[in-house]
Amino acid sequence: MHTSTIEIQIGLDDDKVPQHISWKASDSTAATEQSAKSLMVAFWDGADKSALRIDLWTKDMMVDEMADFFYQHMMGMADTFHRATRQEELANEMKEFARSFYKKFRATQIEENK
């Protein structure tokens, strides 16, 4: 059996707030570590029927970047849900929520910048 490894490095400040996030994967075509401003990792515990999540972001992650990240993450979750369950209607509802979320976020940004 083939094994693949994903390594995540988190650089913390004195208050243990993420300053830098980088990652590399053993099967990646990238030659060097990749930087990121945010990450979301989730694990499913089948025995406990519960999810463990790790959500981190660096100090320099801008609010608009976070909204973009969430929008793209929600759209990706909808695609994954559809592939796993073939529940097209529910996946489309998830995508519609993501679009509504992003539209509302953009409207609040415009209003705040008036």
Chain segment 78-87, per-residue pLDDT in tens: 999 999 999 9
Q: Residue ranges per domain, the chain?
A: 1-59, 62-114
Q: Is the pLDDT of residue 94 over 90?
A: yes
**Counting Cβ atoms within 10 Å, is residue 76 exposed (0-12), middle (13-18) or buried (19+)?**
exposed
pLDDT digits (tens, 9 = 90+) for 13-70: 999 999 999 999 998 888 889 999 999 999 999 999 999 999 999 999 999 999 999 9
**SS3 state of residue 15:** coil
pTM, entire model: 0.88
Q: What is the pLDDT of residue 29?
A: 85
Can you tell me the mean pLDDT for 92-113?
94
C-alpha distances in angstroms, 16 versus 11, 57, 58, 59?
9, 12, 11, 11
Q: What is the pLDDT of residue 57?
A: 97
